[in-house]
């Protein structure tokens, strides 16, 4: 069965500092991997996705993620965090035509 683990429930970083959000997955085959961001009371916005090819994926808002098959990880990174990045971040795994399984989410707080 597919599953996603986000080990960090809550992370606080200072504005301008770098960020890394962890995501580990369990899947029987090569997964489709996603990172979404959710602001309070809002739906989900796709940051980036990995299907195949280059394991370093660039997304919107300056985010990137790296797929590491050996570690079953798909960590999200940003070199310099902005106050507007404060939100809930979800990692998800899915496959063609199937549903997506979400991690528990990581809440990001940005200190001035």
For binding to another protein (CB under 8 A), which residues are involved? 32, 36, 41-46, 49, 51, 90, 94, 96-97, 99-105, 107
Q: How far is the CB of 3 from another protein (least distance, A)?
A: 11
Which CB, 41 or 112, lies closer to another protein? 41
Short-list 55, 94, 85, CA closest to 73:
55
Which CB, 15 or 38, lies closer to another protein? 38
Residue 77 CB neighbours (<10 A) = 14
What separation in angstroms does the CA of 11 have from each of 2, 6, 52, 88, 106? Answer: 25, 11, 29, 10, 7
Which CB, 9 or 28, lies closer to another protein? 9
Q: How far is the CB of 109 from another protein (least distance, A)?
A: 13
- Tell me the backbone φ, ψ of residue 23, rounded to 5 degrees: -150, 125
Q: How far is the CB of 104 from another protein (least distance, A)?
A: 5
């Amino acid at each position: 069965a597919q599953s996603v683990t986000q080990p960090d429930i809550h992370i606080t970083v200072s504005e301008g500092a770098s960020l890394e959000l962890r995501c580990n997955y369990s899947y029987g085959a090569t997964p489709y991997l996603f990172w979404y961001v959710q602001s309070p009371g809002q739906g989900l916005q796709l940051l980036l996705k990995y299907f195949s090819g280059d394991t370093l994926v660039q997304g919107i808002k300056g985010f990137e993620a790296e797929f590491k098959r050996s570690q079953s990880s798909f960590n999200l990174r940003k070199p310099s965090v902005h106050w507007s990045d404060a939100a809930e971040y979800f990692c998800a795994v899915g496959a063609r035509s199937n549903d997506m399984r979400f991690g528990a989410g990581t809440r990001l707080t940005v200190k001035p």
